[in-house]
Structures are given as structure tokens and as C-alpha cells.
């Protein structure tokens, strides 16, 4: 609601005055309703419905039959619906407002995508159906795969990985298989400081020793340090491009050439592909393997409605080692190839990542998004994502420190630090203040190369009006933190809960509910 209309104040009521309002008897705040746990609402001694006497049946469980009460509370239908509806209203969602999480790309999911994913033949099929009965689904997978190969300039794609980190695992397993095939035992994976945090974790999971490559003062890979470390023990370099500082790695082709000359492979974390889709083909930059997060670039939910999806595009050198299964067109029909053959281009496959293509809903949504946009529209996706991020960056760099703002335009993310805040004030204070302003906080304290990092990704789906509102809120909070407004340290004031002890919550989480009366009795 505008604060500029006649009869209304031109500035919001200060938080330090607003939070002094008296508490209500119920704990409710207008339509923000306080909600107890379901165990506190219902009783384990009752049920929400009346049953006739249950017929006597002979249990087949024998000694495994339950002897104690299951301990679930009994609620009426109305109580149940109200409970979960009230909880849902306490969730922040992309349908409520901007989600500025850097490196997460939380953008609008077009409802057309959802409608297509629910069409019969996509939503109700089973992985063990005869292939002749799922030709449409196989055709969707095949067409999506063709788009991904074309957009990336790569040779082939593995569609089975279920997420970004799963895709990283797939790419490294293909690299390891290729090295083993040539009898080359390499043990080290190099990971730049500006890469995503899952990269070193995946390399370690695959049994590799991980070594860091430093970043330059402008937030990009130190090319000379990388070249100096390359040697016969290096299996691969895992690089994120655009990187986690929101910058494009301008030396990417030079890096790839140096890595290949040393006999190693280039893995690119493609989580930020949405910033370059339709404009840059990673295959042209010498990339050997790259996962694509369909939720980031092609607007599928973050695993909603089933498994997520992280297809991996592969170079010609790695294609023979790609995982099974894969969809292949055979004449006028499609086949799901689940076993390698000597003449097949997957003849040296490292095996399977999963049993089934369970993420069918992600495939249908992604292909719908791609076909809706076309090649020109996808290029505009990248253009608008970069434009919005730079609008955020330049609208705030006079009140927030932008550590790499002098390096030129950013890509899809605007990065700020806590430098310049008043003593005792931190990034966390600004993030908590954003909650009072009605926004989900941005990514905090990541990337690690920036102290007190605030990573903001507006995505291409936000309008200028939405960005202006977010900028107004963040600008106000930055000014308060720089001025030493003590009230900010107590934020949030208007959320269902006040500021929590996050350290204690992480170290000593309470995961089960205990009846207070029983807890007292136990003591």
C-alpha cells in the first residue's frame, strides 16, 4: 500500500515504536494467527470422527503387531484444515514476493508448465510400463536432451541425475572412468575459491584430494596460480562460471586449454547457466562436463512434485563413459537404452546413477518453458537476469560496499559485504530486518571470499517495480545499520517468532515433541 496517499504518513512508522504495541490475549497479531503444534491442539485420547465398532480381524503381524498407542492427536476435519492452512500462511513463497537468494535462482514457475506436467501421459505413467505405451514421455526426454546439447554446444547429455550435486557426481564419475580407461591414476581435483560449495564436497566423495585455487583481487580465478599447480596428478578442475561472486570467468578458454594440455578434464558447475543461456555455449569454452539445474535456468520447481533434475552435458571425450539409461530414437519410435553394447556410443559407461527417470515432471516443465520462449526468448532470459542484477548493484553500491563493483558489470548476482556498517552491526542484522520489511533475506555469508557477504539474485522474472521496492527496503536497512540504530539488532519484530538462537538450534535441535506433563513427571 502506498504511503504517499492523502491522509497517510509519508514514511513508515519506526520499528522501535511499532514493536511496543501491547500483546494480545491469544498471541495472534490481526490475521497473523498464532498456531500451536498439532499435538497441542488435539488429544491422543480422541479421534476426529466417529467409527462403528471395528470388526475383529486376525492380525498377520504376529509379534510385530503394535502394542502401544500410536500417539497421534485426534482432530476434526475443520481443525485439521485450519491447522495446515495457518502453517502455510507462515511460509514465504515466490507467489508472495521476491526471493533474493543468490546462487539459488528462485524465480517464477509459469502455471502453463504446471498444467502440462499434470497432463495424462506425463503425470500418471509408471517407469515399468512397456516402452510402447510411454512413447510420448520418451519423446519429451529426447527433445529436451536435444535442446540442452544445442544450447550448451556439447556432444551428449545424461538426463538421469536428480539434482545439481548429483550431476556433479555424474560428471566426476565419467571423468574418473575416462582416466581409468587410459590407465591414468590421478588423485587431485582443483577447485577455485569462487566455486560453489558442493564442488569440493563432490570431489572428496569421489575419493579425490581437493586443493584450492585462489581468487584474484577482482574475484576471478588466479590463472597463473592454476597453471602453476597443474601436473600429472591433477584429474580435473571444477570451476563455476559465472562464478559465485557473480562474475564471468573471462579466462575460461585459456583455463580449459591449460587443463587439457596437462591431461586433465574441465568440469563446469552450470548452476548459473541462466545468466548466459542463449548467449554463451560452454562447449565452445572447452568444458568437458557441466550439470544444468533445470530449476535455475528452465523454471522447474526446486524438486517440487517429485525429484529434482540436474542433467549433465558431456564433451565428445566423455560421451562413451556416460551413465545409463538414455533415450534413443530408433526409426519412428523411441527406446530407453538400459544396457550398453559393444557398438554403442556408451560402450564404456560407468554404470547407472539411478534406477528410473523419476523426474518426469521436471522434464515436461523444462521443455514447456523452452518451447514457450524459443531461442530468442532464452537469450532474453539471460539479458534480463543480468540487467536486473546490475540494477540492484548500482542502486545500492553507494550505501553498501560492493567488493567487486569496480570490476565492471556483474552477471546475475549482485554481491555486497558488511564493510562500513557501524561497530557491532552485522549482515545478520540486515537480513533479519528484511523479514520485517516482508522479504525473504538474501544469501548470507557466502561466498566465503567476501567478509559478511550479501549475495542478491533478483532473477529475470522480477519487474522494475518489484526491484524498486526491494531496493527501498534494503537501502533503508543499510542506512540504519551504518547509523547504529540499536532497534535493528532486535529484528524481526513482526515475524511469527523473534530472533532465534541459530547456533543452539543447529547444535541442539529439538526434533520431537514431548508432552510437558510427561517431561515434568520424568524429572
| Per-residue pLDDT at 447 exceeds 70 | yes
CB-based contact 163:354 (threshold 8 Å)? no
**Whole-Å CA distances, 168 to 106, 142, 173, 469:** 21, 21, 9, 37
Residue 407: pLDDT band by 50, 70, 90 thresholds?
A: confident
Indicate the burial class of 120 (C-beta count within 10 angstroms; 0-12, 13-18, 19 or more).
exposed
pLDDT per residue as tens digits for the range 130-177:
999 999 999 999 999 999 999 999 999 999 999 889 999 999 999 999
Range in 109-113, 405-409, 438-442, 488-492 the model is least confident about: 405-409
Mean pLDDT of the 210-214 span: 95
The string of pLDDT tens digits covering residues 169-207 is: 999 999 999 999 999 999 999 999 888 888 999 999 999
* Alpha-carbon span 153 to 255, nearest angstrom: 18
Summarize pLDDT for 1-47 with one digit per residue, the tens: 333 333 333 344 444 444 455 667 767 777 777 888 888 888 877 77
* pLDDT on residue 338: 86
Which of 64-73, 83-92, 195-204 has the least mean pLDDT?
64-73
Per-residue model confidence (pLDDT) at position 437: 94
For the chain, first and last CA: distance in Å? 52
Rounded to an integer, what is the distance from CA 227 to the centroid of its chain? 31
pTM for the structure as a whole = 0.87
CATH code, 375-507 = 3.90.1150.10
pLDDT band at 341 (very low <50, low <70, confident <90, very high): low
**Cα radius of gyration (the chain):** 27
CATH class of 112-369: alpha beta
Side-chain-side CA neighbours of residue 117 (13 Å): 23
Binning pLDDT at 50, 70 and 90, where does residue 344 land? Answer: low
Burial of 516 (0-12, 13-18, 19+ CB in 10 A): exposed
Q: Is residue 495's pLDDT more than 90?
A: no
pLDDT at residue 511, rounded to an integer: 86
Q: What is the mean pLDDT of the chain?
A: 89
Q: In the chain, where are the structural domains located?
A: 112-369, 375-507
- Of 154, 165, 166, nearest to 357 (Cα)? 166
Specify whether the CB–CB gap between 323 and 340 falls below 8 A. Answer: no
Q: With beta carbons less than 8 A apart as the criterion, state whether 302 and 106 touch.
A: yes
Give dist(CA 243, CA 193) in Å, integer. 9
User: Is the Cβ–Cβ distance between 237 and 164 less than 8 Å?
Assistant: no
pLDDT above 90 for 302: no
Segment 348-385, tens digit of pLDDT: 899 999 888 878 999 999 999 999 999 999 999 999 99
Q: Is the dihedral of CA 414, 290, 136, 325 positive or negative?
A: negative
Predicted pLDDT of residue 17? 47
Residues, the chain = 523
Between CA 324 and CA 104 the distance in angstroms is: 28
For residues 479 and 465, what is the distance between their CA atoms, to the nearest angstrom? 21
Amino acid at each position: 500500500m502506498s504511503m504517499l496517499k492523502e491522509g497517510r504518513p509519508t514514511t513508515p512508522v519506526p520499528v522501535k515504536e511499532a514493536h511496543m504495541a501491547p500483546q494480545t490475549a491469544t498471541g495472534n497479531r490481526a490475521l497473523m494467527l498464532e498456531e500451536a503444534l498439532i499435538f497441542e491442539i488435539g488429544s491422543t485420547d480422541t479421534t476426529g470422527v466417529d467409527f462403528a465398532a471395528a470388526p475383529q480381524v486376525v492380525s498377520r503381524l504376529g509379534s510385530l503387531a503394535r502394542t502401544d498407542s500410536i500417539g497421534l492427536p485426534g482432530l476434526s476435519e475443520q481443525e485439521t484444515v485450519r491447522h495446515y492452512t495457518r502453517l502455510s500462511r507462515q511460509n514465504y513463497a515466490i507467489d508472495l514476493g521476491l526471493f533474493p537468494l543468490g546462487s539459488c535462482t528462485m524465480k517464477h514457475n509459469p502455471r502453463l508448465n504446471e498444467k502440462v506436467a499434470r497432463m495424462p501421459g506425463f503425470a500418471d505413467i509408471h517407469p515399468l510400463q512397456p516402452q510402447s505405451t510411454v512413447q510420448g514421455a520418451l519423446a519429451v526426454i529426447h527433445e529436451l536432451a536435444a535442446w540442452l546439447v544445442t544450447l550448451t554446444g556439447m556432444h551428449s547429455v545424461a538426463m538421469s541425475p536428480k539434482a545439481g550435486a548429483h550431476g556433479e557426481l555424474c560428471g566426476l564419475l565419467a571423468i574418473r572412468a575416462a582416466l581409468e580407461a587410459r590407465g591414468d591414476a590421478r588423485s587431485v581435483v582443483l577447485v577455485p575459491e569462487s566455486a560453489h560449495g558442493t564442488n569440493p564436497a563432490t570431489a572428496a566423495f569421489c575419493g579425490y584430494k581437493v586443493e584450492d585455487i585462489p581468487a584474484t583481487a577482482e574475484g576471478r580465478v588466479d590463472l597463473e596460480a592454476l597453471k602453476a599447480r597443474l601436473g600429472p596428478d591433477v584429474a580435473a578442475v571444477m570451476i563455476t562460471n559465472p562464478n559465485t561472486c557473480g562474475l564471468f570467468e573471462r579466462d575460461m578458454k585459456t583455463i580449459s586449454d591449460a587443463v587439457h594440455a596437462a591431461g586433465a578434464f574441465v568440469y563446469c558447475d552450470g548452476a548459473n547457466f541462466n545468466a548466459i543461456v542463449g548467449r554463451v555455449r560452454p562447449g565452445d569454452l572447452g568444458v568437458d562436463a557441466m550439470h544444468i539445474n533445470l530449476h535455475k535456468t528452465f523454471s522447474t520447481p526446486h524438486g517440487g512434485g517429485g525429484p529434482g533434475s540436474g542433467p549433465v552435458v558431456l564433451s565428445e571425450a566423455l560421451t562413451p563413459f556416460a551413465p545409463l539409461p538414455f533415450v534413443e530414437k530408433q526409426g519412428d519410435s523411441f527406446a530407453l537404452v538400459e544396457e550398453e553394447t559393444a557398438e554403442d556410443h556408451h560402450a564404456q559407461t560407468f554404470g547407472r546413477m539411478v534406477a528410473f527417470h523419476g523426474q518426469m515432471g521436471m522434464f515436461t516443465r523444462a521443455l514447456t518453458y523452452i518451447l514457450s520462449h524459443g531461442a530468442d526468448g532464452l537469450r532474453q532470459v539471460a539479458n534480463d537476469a543480468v540487467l536486473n542484477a546490475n540494477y540492484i548493484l548500482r542502486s545500492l553500491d553507494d550505501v553498501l560496499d560492493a567488493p567487486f563493483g569496480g570490476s565492471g558489470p556483474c552477471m546475475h548476482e549482485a554481491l555486497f559485504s558488511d564493510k562500513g556498517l557501524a561497530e557491532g552491526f552485522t549482515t545478520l542484522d540486515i537480513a533479519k530486518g528484511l523479514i520485517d520489511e516482508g522479504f525473504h533475506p538474501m544469501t548470507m555469508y557466502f561466498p566465503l571470499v567476501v567478509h559478511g557477504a550479501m549475495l542478491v539474485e533478483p532473477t529475470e522474472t522480477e519487474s522494475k517495480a518489484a526491484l524498486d521496492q526491494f531496493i527501498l527496503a534494503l537501502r533503508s536497512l543499510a542506512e540504519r545499520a551504518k547509523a547504529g540504530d540499536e532497534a535493528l539488532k532486535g529484528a524481526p519484530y513482526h515475524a511469527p517468532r523473534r530472533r532465534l538462537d541459530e547456533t543452539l538450534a543447529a547444535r541442539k535441535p529439538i526434533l520431537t515433541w514431548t508432552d510437558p506433563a510427561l517431561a515434568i513427571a520424568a524429572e
